[in-house]
Structures are given as structure tokens and as C-alpha cells.
Amino acid sequence: MALSYVKRFIRLLAGLFLFALGTCFIVQADIGLAPWDAFSMGLSLATGLSFGDIVIVTGILILIVDYAMHEQLGFGTILNALLIGKFIDLIQWARLVPKMEHYASGIAMLLAGEIVLCLATFLYVGTGLGCGPRDALMVALGKRFPKKPIGLIRGIIEGSVLLAGWLLGAKIGIGTVIAVFGIGFILQYTFQLLHFDVTAVRHESMLDTLNTWKGGGK
């Protein structure tokens, strides 16, 4: 059991690092930010805090909302909120991803970033240790408004944060359009190639995980 959880947490950490790397690809493409990235960048410009710190603060605030709405939180959910931002700051500090100076290279970088994000999602969601804070918020609101399509709810959330980011000075452009409409197709195709059914994943709450450890289960 202990070895199984070690493997799952290693996979989780790898997924979170790749998610941060994919986010940096999209930022450094410099042709327009995805909604949540635009929101974080806008707050970073307004407050002077690093992009990664804003990602962490936003994630923690959303976690609080998720908890208040009685949404299940797992260790993966908590680590998602705390680590992705720090991984982003580390990648930017190390200058691992150069900034693109040409339009064509920017599009290529952005698409590469979206593919990396999809691979990252496959890794960390596949651990079953909890989805990310923003996904949990979407699910929680879906439960509160069951008559509304989940796509509409996600659209309202992302549209709202995109507008806020734009008003705060974040860069919006063709990359934003690609990020919004391309991610769904790339995610679906990636999961098909990896034979991964995201709906079959059963996530553990933190209490579930702790009880499994104590009980010596698998």
C-alpha cells in the first residue's frame, strides 16, 4: 500500500510540474493568455506579486470556496493549489522557457503548451487524489445549478476571469482564442491516444486517503 501511494504521489508531482511548464509555454508564447492565466497575470501586474504567487493565492481562495460549498477535497487538490505557482516561479527564475519573438513561433509554443497541459492533466487526474481547485469549483457550481449546462457554467467562470484579467492589463490576443477553443479538442485527442477515461477515475478525499493508510488498504 505504501509503495502504491509513493508512486501515485510521484505521478501527481510530475503532473503538477508539467502543468506549470505548460503554463509557462503559453505565457512565453506572448500571443495572448488563456483565461485563468490572464487573470493571474493581471493581478500580478496590479499587485507586484509574482505570477506564481498569484496562482497560489487564487488557488487557496478557490479552495476555501470549494470547501464552503461542501466539495470533496483531496491531497491532489491541495497540492495543486500550493505547488503549481511555485513551480511556475522556479521555471521562470531558471529561464527554462524563452520568450517567443515571432508570431509563428508563438503559435507553435502555445500549442506545445496546451499539449503539455493535457499530458499533465492525464498524470495528476489519473492518480485519483483529487482534481484541481478550479475544476472543483466548476463541479460545485454545477451541483448548485443542475438545470444549467456545465459548459455554460465553465464559460461564465472563464469569461469572468478573462474579463478581469484584461481590465487589469493582461495581454489578450489570438492565443487566447486558441487556448479557449483548442484545449478541449487537444485534451480529448490526448486522452484517446493514452486510452484514458477521465470519467472512470474515482477521486479520494483526504479523509479517504488517511483512512486507507491507517487501515493498510491498497
What's the pLDDT tens digit per position in 23-81?
999 999 999 999 999 999 999 999 999 999 999 999 999 999 989 988 888 999 999 99
What pLDDT was estimated at residue 211? Answer: 85
What pLDDT was estimated at residue 158? Answer: 86
pLDDT score of 108 more than 70: yes
Average pLDDT over residues 78-94: 95
Q: How many CB atoms lie within 10 A of CB 180?
A: 16
What pLDDT was estimated at residue 190? Answer: 85
Average pLDDT over residues 4-8: 88
What pLDDT was estimated at residue 3? Answer: 67
No. of helices (H) and no. of strands (E), the chain: 9, 0
pLDDT score of 188 more than 70: yes
pLDDT digits (tens, 9 = 90+) for 154-178: 788 888 999 999 999 999 999 898 8
DSSP state of 50: -
Distance of alpha carbon 34 from alpha carbon 18, whole angstroms: 17
Residue (of 118, 117, 102, 98) closest to 31 by Cα position: 102
